[in-house]
Amino acid sequence: MIPKNIGHDIPKELPRELVEVIQTGKGVRIERIVSKGHVSPEGFWYDQENSEWVLVLQGGAALLLEGASGPIALGPGDYLNIPAHARHRVEWTDPDRETVWLAIYYD
């Protein structure tokens, strides 16, 4: 086993959001997501089969849940549990620095 650091090996250029699967197991998938000014496409909503627990490790973001009065701002250390089929979108990520997320998808 070789330890890795979730904040290392971030490309200098991010033309697209970087999504890397870190680990999978029975009923669970763990990803590192790196954003820099990336948002959900206009009119697009995530509607996932699994629940998703997200933690912002660095940077900042704002998520909008369908039917909410406004976006939920997330900064370093903030986390949110999104139940399966709760429609949501990424409204904003910090354009000046990388936002590093830890996302855990589970049954």
Cα torsion through 84, 49, 99, 88, rounded to 10: -60
Nearest to 94 by CA among 43, 41, 58: 58
Q: C-alpha distances in angstroms, 26 versus 30, 80, 92?
A: 11, 22, 32
| pLDDT, mean of residues 71-90 | 98
**Cα Rg of the chain (Å, integer):** 14
Question: Per-residue pLDDT tens for 12-55?
Answer: 899 999 999 999 999 999 999 999 999 999 999 999 999 999 99
pLDDT band at 59 (very low <50, low <70, confident <90, very high): very high
58 burial (CB, 10 Å; 0-12 / 13-18 / 19+) is middle
